[in-house]
Every structure is written in C-alpha cells, then in structure tokens.
Amino acid sequence: LNIVELFLGIMTAIGGFVDVSELVFAAQAGSRFGYALIFVFVFSTIGIMVFGEMSGRVAAIAKQPVFNLMRHRLSLELGLVTLIASLVSNLITCAAELGGVAIILHLLTGFSYWVMAVLATLVITASVWVLPFKWIERSYGLLGLFMLVFPAALIAIHPPWSAIAHGFIPSIPHGMTTTQLLSYAYFAVAIVSAVMFPYETYFYSSGAIEDKWTRKDLGINRLTSIMGFGLGSLLAIGILATSVQLFARLSIDPQMPGTAALEAQLPFGWIGLLTALLGMLFAISGAAVETCMSNAYSLAQYFGWEWGRYKKPWEAPRFTLSWLAVFALALAIVLSGIDPMKLVEYAVMFSILVLPLTYLPLLLLAGDRTYMREHANGRFARILGWGYYAVIVIAAVTAIPLFLLTSGGQL
C-alpha cells in the first residue's frame, strides 16, 4: 500500500466531493431545517461509498469499465436506455457546474457572467487537453481543499456541538406545517440525488482503469471510497451546520453559491470570503470536468471506441471529440440564459429519476461471479446495495411530485 498515493487519493476525493448542488442544498437545508437533514447527508454518503467501492472493484477485477460490461451482461436495449439517461443527466449537471463556476468568477472579478462562462469553459477544456488523467483529478481535487475553510469557519463560530450531533440521528422536526414537511421531504430527496450523482461512480471506475488498478489496489479502493467520500461529506455537513448558525437567524435561505461563501466571510473577513470562493471555484470546476468526462467515458465504453486520457487526444479521436462536444453543449445550455440555480434543480431532479437505471447494472455486475469471481459482492455488500437501491427507487418515484408540490423546495 503506497501511503503517499493513498493520502493524495483521499485528499483529492475530499476536495472534489462538494459540487454546486451539494453546496446550494447544504446551505439551504441548514437555514431552512436546522440540523435535521444532517442524517440524510450521512445516509447518502454511505450509499455513495457502497456504490463507489463496487465500481472501483469491478474496474480492478473485471478490468473493464462498467459501460463495456453492461453491453455484454445486459441487453443492448437496456444498456442504451441507461446510456441515454446517463448522458442527459451528466450534461445537465455539467451545465449547472459551468454556470456555478461562471457565477463565482463573476463575483471574484466583476466581469460579465457570460464572458466568465466562456472563459471558464475554455480554461477547463484546455486543462483536460493538456494534463494527464491523474493530474486533472488531483489539480482540481487538491485545490478544492480551500473548501476546508468551511469546517474551519464552523469551529470558529463555536456552534452547539450536541445539537449538531443530534442531527446525525434520523428525525423530523416538530411543529412543521404540511407544506413545510413536503419541502423537508423534497430536500431529503434532493440531497440523496446530489450526493449520489451517477457521474461519480462512472468517473471513479473509469479513473481506476486509467490508473491500471489490479486486485492489489482493492485496499486503496476501499479506503479511498470510505475515507474520501466520508471526509468530503463532513465538509458538506460543515456547510449545513454553519448555515444554521449564521443564515437561519438572519432569515436568509442562501440560493446562490456566492451567498454560501459568506459562511467563511463572517468569522474570517475578506480572507475567508476569498478562500471560500477559490475553494468553490476549484471544487465546482473539478465536478464540471468529472461530469463531462463521464459522458465521454460512457459513450466510448458503450460503443467500444478507443478511450482514456492516458492516450494523446488524437490517439482516441472519438473519445476526444465526445468530451469536447459535451463541454460545448453544456456551455450552450449556460449561454441560453437558463438561471444556473434552476439548472442545479433540474440536474438534481433528473439525476434522481435516472439513478435507479444507472445503479442497477453496477449492482448486477458487482454481484456477478462470472466477472468478479471471489471478489463478487458478499452478503453485507449485497444487503447494503439492494437496500440503497430500494431507497433510490422510492426517491425517484416521489421526486417530481415533491418538486411540483413545493415549487422546487421553495415553499
């Protein structure tokens, strides 16, 4: 076990955990419902650990990416439906992330949001073109560690730790009206979706193939999944808890990433503000890269094209064209004038709708002894996997009604 590699892997996962959806929903959840939704973050994080570990294990043992195996293991039709669902979900999410990056650059520089959207897309595209896979992942993930200013802010404001600890226990706040209860349920579903975005497992498993994982890396896979996602989730919980302390008492329901940065500004002044904005900039840029690359990976793996960032861009031309096209389409969505925060809502809603479809093949493949041999899901992983799958299906069925009944959680 290479300790340095493991440490960097975990740090990268922590810095890259929070994306624009988690940022917005964590801050809003805190100001609206106090600490009551912390347990949903914990619950969903265990879910992404379970599926993340499975996807890394499938990559290390079967030595094939999920979409390639899906084509052989499942029917072509079901594989194609899953592919289309993932492509649409990731594209909307990528557009939401690019919109978030543009907002932050707009707040940092004062330049037009539109100019920043184009500039950010160009810079991110160039970074993917130039950097090898490991450094794409690490650069954004490690620079995203500026986000640690949020837990630092939480410590600095001396919150009621016992109340925060109670938030880890599942509960529904008392004295809420029916509408507020529905909004609470909507936020719970949205948080599950934001934490368990399908792109995370596709990017993670494709990355494992890029890094040429073998069965020797199963330990790193397990530790990175548990520690990286777990500590990253604590960062999101820190944003939620600070929001309870700072925003709830001021009647603020933070709806923009720019507002969330005030959580670090209030205890640390302008240095805290800039650190938070920079952390958000890199973390959200990293998420934009991951969503875009996930689409290119999925397409190339399904159709059996040459793929991988370990190759020169021209050595895998259809793969390269795919990720360039995804960035271009996502930018076009941003430039169409859709409010970026609406894009975040759509990304979260669409992702939860397609989650059952995207996680089913992974669950089947990880449990298939033909491919996985002695590393197929054991009883514990099977129970956890199918248990989470049931919850995802329930969340998917209730998502649209809750979205409409609560005007996207605003009521």
Partner 1 sequence: MQNLFGPQRGANAATKPPAVGLALALAFAATACSSPASEDVLTVKTARSLVAEWALVNREAARGRVTKHYADKMRENARSQLTDLRKSAENPAAPGVAEIDRAILLPANADAQMLDTIVGRLSHIETQLEHR
Task: Rank residues 196 and 234 by Cβ distance to partner 1 and give the closer one.
Answer: 196
Distances (CA, A) of 396 to 8, 50, 80, 393, 400: 34, 19, 20, 5, 8
- Nearest 5 degrees, angle CA 127-CA 128-CA 131? 70
Distance CA 33, CA 37 (A): 7
Site for partner 1 in 9-28 (CB under 8 A): none
Contact mark string toward partner 1, 338..377, x via CB under 8 A: --------x--xx--xx-xx--------------------
The 3 state secondary structure assigned to 124-158 is HHHHHHHCCHHHHHHHHHHHHHHHHHHHHHHHHCC
Q: Does 108 bind partner 1 (CB under 8 A)?
A: yes
Contact mark string toward partner 1, 165..204, x via CB under 8 A: ------------x-x-------------------------
Distance CA 68, CA 73 (A): 9
Contact mark string toward partner 1, 85..104, x via CB under 8 A: x--xx--x------------
Q: Does 265 bind partner 1 (CB under 8 A)?
A: yes
Q: Which two tokens stand for residue 8?
A: 């960097």
Give Cβ neighbours of residue 235 (< 8 Å, ≥ 6 apart).
14, 17, 18, 147, 148, 150, 151
How many amino acids of this chain bind partner 1 (CB under 8 A)? 53
User: Which range touches partner 1 (CB under 8 A), out of 10-18, 140-148, 208-216, 397-405?
Assistant: 397-405
Q: Does 81 bind partner 1 (CB under 8 A)?
A: yes
Q: Does 317 bind partner 1 (CB under 8 A)?
A: no
**Angle between helix 340-366 and helix 76-109 axes, rounded to 10 deg:** 140
CB 366 within 8 A of CB 57: yes
Contact mark string toward partner 1, 273..292, x via CB under 8 A: xx--x---------------
Distance CA 385, CA 304 (A): 28
Kindly list the residues in this chain that would bind partner 1 in the complex (CB under 8 A). Answer: 77-78, 81, 84-85, 88-89, 92, 106-110, 177, 179, 250-256, 258-259, 261-262, 265-266, 269-270, 273-274, 277, 346, 349-350, 353-354, 356-357, 393, 396-402, 404-405, 407, 410-411
